[in-house]
Chains A and B, each alone.
Chain A
Amino acid sequence: MIWLTWRQFRVQFLVVATVIVAAGITLAITGPGLADDYRRLAGSFIESLGFQRFNPFLYIAGQALLYVTPPVIGAFWGAPLVARELETGTHRLVWSQSIGRRRWLATKLGVTGGAAIAITGLLSLAVTWWADPIDKAINAGQDSNTYLPRMFPPVFAARGLVPIGYAAFAFALGVALGLVIRRTVVSLAVTLAAVILIQIITPSLIRPHLLAPTDKYIVANAENVRGFGLTGDGPNPTVKELEVATGAVGAYKLSDDTVDKSGKALSTLPDWVIKCAPAPPPGLAQEPNSDADRTACFQRLADEGYRQHVRYYTADKFWDLQWREFGLFLLVAFALGGFSFWRIRRDLS
């Protein structure tokens, strides 16, 4: 059975594995140089990357590859696994041999799913190891417009364990959808769409529920304020929201709401808060607020009890959150696998 699984799977496997192994080798070759730069240049390491071409490209490519791998595995390894047999009728050939269809499915899931986990794990390991100097430098506070802390959504799902969880989930989803839809191309497309959708909604809808974030109230002042959200007509805007820095380097902020004395969140701030803004909105011939005005404005904000309610994940929660998200997706993958075992016992002729 393992032989048959491999015989049917080898082309799909080799296509994906070639790309990933090639990427892995490239990262393995360039990785030591990058780590060396990091040690040598210390504080100006991130800045030095701005003068390079290949390493910034590899950074983006590795990240992109880790996002692409789970949907591809789900759609091209998972979806056809049972759907193609049902579509061509060959399930009636293979299930009438001397082994039961559940053992058939167990071998198929074991071999193909194992390969999915192994190959994604390999890529994630390579990317995480390669990008480690950059992640470290960013988390140490080196300034960059290109590189984000690894706690931030675009990076988080391209490091460590999470991609493996996604791959296992995508594969199991593809198999289950193929078993239900029974058409290779349709289940392939649906799997692709579903996995991409899950990748998009996870950071905002699923991840915040996995771990309790740090919950804090911060009084805004001229030093910690990071942005003003404005609303209203051009000449007389009002402030809709304020954003403040958490003070924790490498943290990812989930929410930042202005609350009044009673702790109630505000949808719009009082009119006078516009005086706290450093410069007028672009295109308006208005004088910038003077430093004295701004200080007075922030003082009034503090005096009247307005505070910023911030919730954020600190950088040291990275592995905690990685394990939880990985565990969740692995659990869902097993549940989907269980469904497939249940479904395959029923009539499929």
Chain B
Amino acid sequence: MNTVLQAHGLGKKYGRRWALTDCDLVVPAGHVVGLVGPNGAGKSTLLNLAVGMLTPSAGTVEVLGAPAGAQQAKVGYVAQDTPTYARLSIEDHLRLGRRLNPAWDESLAQQRVQHLKLDPKQRAGKLSGGQRAQLALTLGLAKRPELLVLDEPVAALDPLARREFLQDLMEAVAEQELSVVLSSHLVSDVERACDYVIVLVDSRVQVSGEIDTLLATHYRLTGPRRDPKDLPRDQFVVTASHTDRQSTYLIRTEQPIHDPAWTVTQLTLEDLVLAYMGRDVQPERPVLEVQR
């Protein structure tokens, strides 16, 4: 299996505080990966480690088979808040990209600027947030990377600009053979753009896998009150809640559920992500990973 991102025991410490601990992760190639988690979970730290902006305090991280940061030409990065040079024009930004990247795709860049109806003479400082994000994305795409990493690219955008940005990203992914990792604190962004999800809470990976597979193996069970110990061994409890008479479990299982006592409901991605986010973090429990 081809991997774009592989982390082993990856950790990052700022002073005394660990922003990311014990992160083990394998992301296969060819996906649009959504990295979700609450603010401060370590999403930015993980992505910054992956693009080589930061160096790990513990463990290793490999990108496209080499240590992170070793193959800058193959990894595109759209940083948080999509920074651009306020005093440089759009034209200047494209020129910057052309001069600093050997595989620069000028026609793609020009096409995108035209498509976005941007005036090439305009300074980046005068652009709206959405336009600036699009300019940053253009630089990232025209670099022709094998992996494009985007750190909260739409966080500051209004809903319309957000949708356009993700739409453009998906179109580009469809045209170029490109793997993408993007982070967001909103499940709806991930639902719209991604086919693979990583849930990061309190600096740990809670679950990761293809969204379809995850949805097909997670269920909500509702029925008469029952102790979790009485559930079959192949059913892994994600969350549980009880009233006097009734139990609700959110479980993961590869097997069909035959017990007639349960009412079984399918989950939405949001249910699933929120369940993992809301779960008490139990470090001693092995981190779940759903394989293909």
Contact = CB atoms under 8 A, between A and B. Distances in A.
**Same complex origin of A and B:** yes
Interface of A: 1, 3-4, 7-8, 88-90, 92-100, 346-349
B105 interface: no
B118 interface: no
A8 to B, nearest CB: 7
Nearest to A89: B83
Contacts of B76: 96
B54 interface: yes
B100 A99 contact: yes
A94 B101 CA distance: 11
Given A90-B85, A93-B136, A99 B55 contact: no
Contacts of B96: 4, 94, 97
Given A349-B48, A349-B53, A89 B99 contact: no
B124 to A, nearest CB: 10
Contacts of B139: 93, 97
B92 A92 contact: no
Interface size class of B (residues with CB under 8 A): 20 to 34
B54 A93 contact: no
A348 B101 CA distance: 22
A90 B79 CA distance: 9
Given A90-B83, A349-B54, A3 B77 contact: no
B143 A8 contact: no
20 contacts: A1-B99, A3-B95, A4-B99, A4-B100, A8-B88, A88-B85, A89-B83, A90-B83, A90-B84, A90-B85, A92-B77, A92-B79, A92-B83, A93-B79, A96-B75, A97-B101, A98-B73, A348-B53, A349-B48, A349-B53
Interface string B81-102: 1011111100010011101111
A93 B84 contact: yes
Nearest to A97: B100
B55 A96 contact: no
Contacts of B143: 97-98
A96 B53 CA distance: 8
Contacts of A89: 79-81, 83
Nearest to A90: B83
Task: Pick from A88, A93, A346 the residue with the most CB of B within 10 Å.
Answer: A93
Interface in B179-232: none
Contacts of B92: 7
A347 to B, nearest CB: 5
Contacts of A8: 85, 87-88
Contacts of B97: 97
Considering residues B80, B83, B101, which has the most beta carbons from chain A within 10 angstroms of its beta carbon?
Answer: B83
Contact of A94 (B48, B51, B86, B100): B100
B48 A96 contact: no
9 pairs of A and B residues whose beta carbons are closest in the complex: A96-B77, A92-B79, A97-B100, A89-B83, A98-B73, A98-B101, A349-B53, A90-B83, A93-B83
Contacts of A92: 53, 77, 79-80, 83
Contacts of A96: 51, 53, 72, 75-77, 79
A8 B61 CA distance: 34
A99 B95 contact: no
A193 B76 CA distance: 40
A88 B99 contact: no
Contacts of B87: 8
Given A94-B100, A97-B72, A99-B100, A347 B55 contact: yes
